[in-house]
Chain A
Amino acid sequence: MTRSDTTRSAAPTALVELDGVSKHYGNIRALEGVSLTVHAGEITCVLGDNGAGKSTLIKIIAGLHQHDAGTFRIEGEEVRPASPREALDHGIATVYQDLAVVPLMPVWRNFFLGSEPRKGSGPFKRLDVDLMRRTTHAELLRMGIDLRDVDQPIGTLSGGERQCVAIARAVHFGAKVLVLDEPTAALGVKQSGVVLKYVAAARDAGLGVVLITHNPHHAYLVGNRFVLLKRGTMVGSHARDGITLDELTRQMAGGSELDDLRHELEGTTP
């Protein structure tokens, strides 16, 4: 547990720091003593199987739920965001796997949803539509997405493109920390690659990234740190140079349980 010492003495304070965070729903222990740090320009991966507590963790960081114990610091300041809006004000933008965008709305309306620029005053205060259209096109281009038409409903884009729009939106609105919930879960190999490229682009732009995934291969491609969750508790926390992909996959898959399973399967098949 020298981790907290190193973060204290290191010159830049972590963008996000969770320390021993727990969350209970009634008598169900959803999360117990989870710690993680995110630095600017780094990607922290949270790995775990279904029911490991990944969603609960993301909801605490995103401001949808509040933690019951432990500390949650943003740039050294202890916080307890009570709503997604509050988390956004702290610079934390969360991109959800399935509810990142409103499918029937045009791309440009989605891009600025919740933070619409306006011009004029009084009753004539209105959306700055030209600026919104132009900015959407330019920002997406900057992320490497050359959109055909910003007026098309965003539901007509592919799953990967939609994730990318959501990421580009977070970057544009000055997010310091990007939380990505299973961005590659529903995507094919090529689409996943595209999304991971934008995740890396966001990192290179100086953002801290929390990447939630159950795919160790995707995590190892881009991650700087890896936090492993299992049944609500933290079973491992590693820097990239402290672990290999094989070891990460093994721990993720349950380590010794996997060995047992292999024995079992090999034992039954003649």
Chain B
Amino acid sequence: MTATAPAADERLLRTSPLRRLLGRPELGSVVGALAVFLFFALVADGFLRAAGLSTVLYAASTIGIMAVPVALLMIGGEFDLSAGVMVTSSALISSMFSYQMTANVWVGVGVSLLATLAIGFFNGFMLTRTKLPSFIITLGTFLMLTGLNLGFTKLISGTVSTKSIADMEGYSSAQDVFASVLTVGGVDFKITILWWFGLVAVASWILLRTRVGNWIFAVGGGKDAARAVGVPVERTKIGLYMGVALAAWIAGQHLLFSFDVVQSGEGVGKELTYIIAAVIGGCLITGGYGSAVGSAIGALIFGMTDKGIVFAEWNPDWFKFFLGAMLLLATLLNAWVRKRAEATA
């Protein structure tokens, strides 16, 4: 009865460090990432050079920024198929508002934030109100946003892309925040890498060390049990969708300020990329299990494969095949690892 540490129990036979490690959701993806890294380090010239790694990290970051909230949402038991086009919507709103109102670019950026959050709220609100599967709700939002992106852009600018806003007030400072290049030791790194790392850190903190994180695991792993002990299931889910919207806003502003003009048809298909990154990273597709760090490793595998094929001078048509194979392998490995970890000694 004395305050001995709970760990000192003779029945804790084999909680070896290895078993602890096997219990981590990221493990499968770490093994996969190492394999992909070694593979391309061997076959592709330039992959290991600093500039090459910077390119890989940039590719990973543009996916990773979205994969983080998509992973949290998946842990919470839901999908968001509108995440890809929402990025484009966010960029379009920002650009067109500033251009049409001849306002400071930052005003457009702010309006875009509110509008994108509203889209996220709409997804969450519809889901919790109608109790329809998120697949249907967000598929609807996906199609509606795809239509609105094209329709509004053609209506306002006459073409499928927005007008240049590069000469407008506030453009350069906004570019510094969302699309600048940092030079570290002679190597150029895009600022999205910082945004990505920041999001992973914040999301991990929320998931593992806050009350809301506990709720996210609970609404995904056992919605009814969570509700019965007083967890605000609806608010948690709406919050998760707004998290996706927040990241879509960041990614959208990057899109706008790195290319100046936005193509209104972009983003279709990206939503699956984010989901794949989250799944490769160890998120359980049925909810209740996963991590933000895992989604980052999933995005890294994506970036390495994407750019590695280019460095190896292969036909990029093979990319999708690699991706599909990777997804299957990662899912199988995760399932196997989890079964091993959960089997009590």
Which positions in A face B, CB cutoff 8 Å? Answer: 62, 84-85, 88, 94, 96, 99-105, 109, 112-116, 118, 125-127, 129, 133-134, 137, 141, 146-150, 152-153, 155-156, 169
Kindly identify, within residues 1 to 33 of chain B, every residue whose CB is under 8 Å from any CB belonging to chain A.
1, 6, 9, 11-12, 15
| B 232-256 binary contact with A (CB < 8 Å = 1; else 0) | 0000000000000000000000000
Q: Is the CB of A129 within 8 A of B209?
A: yes
Q: Kindly identify which residue among A62, A125, A126, A137 contacts B228, using a CB–CB cutoff of 8 Å.
A: A62
Identity of the chain A residue whose Cβ is nearest the Cβ of B287 in the assembled complex: A104
Q: Report how many A-B pairs have Cβ atoms within 8 Å.
A: 93
Neighbour of A113 across the interface among B11, B210, B218, B224, CB < 8 A: B218
Q: Which of A99, A127, A137, A150 contacts B224 (CB 8 A)?
A: A99
* A166, B20: Cα distance in complex, Å: 26
Query: In angstroms, how far is the closest chain B Cβ from the Cβ of A165?
Result: 12
Whole-angstrom distance between the Cβ of A105 and the nearest chain B Cβ: 5
Which residues on B sit within 8 Å (CB–CB) of A118?
210-211
Given contact pairs A109-B217, A152-B344, A99 touches B225 in the complex (Cβ within 8 A): yes
B6 touches A112 (CB 8 A): no
B288 touches A104 (CB 8 A): yes
- A100 adjacent to B230 (CB under 8 Å): no
Q: Which of A88, A118, A126, A134 has the most CB of B within 10 A?
A: A126
User: Do B221 and A127 have beta carbons less than 8 Å apart?
Assistant: no
A residues within 8 A CB of B344? 152, 156
Interface pair A99/B228, CB less than 8 Å apart: yes
* B342 in the interface (beta carbon within 8 A): yes
Q: Which residues of A contact B284 (CB under 8 A)?
A: 104
Question: Which B residues lie at the A interface, using CB under 8 A?
Answer: 1, 6, 9, 11-12, 15, 205, 209-211, 213-214, 217-218, 221-222, 224-231, 284, 288-289, 342, 344
Please determine whether B231 and A148 come into contact, CB atoms closer than 8 angstroms: no
Known contacts A116-B211, A116-B214, A127-B210, A88 near B230 by CB under 8 Å:
yes
Residues of A within 8 A of B11 (CB): 148
- Which residue in A102, A127, A141, A148 is a CB contact (below 8 Å) of B209? A127
Residues of A within 8 A of B226 (CB): 102, 113-114
Contacts of A99 in B (CB 8 A): 222, 224-225, 228
Q: Are B217 and A105 in contact (CB under 8 A)?
A: yes
* Contact B230 A102, beta carbon cutoff 8 Å: no
Minimum CB–CB distance from A245 to chain B (whole Å) comes to 32
Q: List 7 A-B contacts (CB under 8 A).
A: A96-B225, A105-B221, A109-B217, A126-B209, A127-B214, A150-B6, A155-B342
Given A104-B288, A105-B218, A115-B230, check contact A149 B225 (CB 8 Å): no
| Chain A residue with Cβ nearest B7 | A149
| Residues of A with C-beta under 8 A to B211 | 116, 118, 127
Report the 6 A-B pairs with minimum CB-CB distance, sorted nearest first: A102-B222, A114-B229, A114-B230, A102-B221, A85-B230, A137-B6
Known: A103-B221, A127-B211, A137-B6. A84 touches B227 (CB 8 A): yes
B222 touches A101 (CB 8 A): yes
The answer for the CA separation of A58 and B13 in the assembled complex, in Å, is 41
A148 to B12, CA, bound (A): 6
Instruction: Name the CB-closest residue of B to A150.
Output: B6
Chain B residues within an 8 Å CB radius of A126: 205, 209-210
Closest to A157 in B: B344
Question: Contacts of B213 on A, CB cut-off 8 Å?
Answer: 127
Q: Give Cα A149–Cα B15 distance, bound, in whole angstroms.
A: 9
A103 touches B228 (CB 8 A): no
Knowing A105-B217, A113-B214, the reply to whether A94 touches B222 (Cβ < 8 A) is no
* A125 and B210 contact, CB distance less than 8 A: yes
A134 pairs with B6, CB closer than 8 A: yes
Which chain A residue has the least Cβ–Cβ distance from B343? A156
Q: How far, in Å, is B23 (CB) from chain A's closest CB?
A: 8
In angstroms, how far is the closest chain B Cβ from the Cβ of A76? Answer: 24
Please, how many angstroms separate the alpha-carbon atoms of A99 and B225 in the complex?
A: 5
Q: Which residues of A contact B224 (CB under 8 A)?
A: 96, 99
Select A148's contact among B9, B214, B342, beta carbons within 8 Å: B9
The smallest C-beta distance from B239 to any residue of chain A, in angstroms, reads 16
Q: 5 other contacts beyond A84-B228, A148-B9, with CB at 8 A cut-off?
A: A99-B228, A101-B222, A102-B218, A115-B230, A169-B229
- Distance in Å from the Cβ of B221 to the closest Cβ of chain A? 4
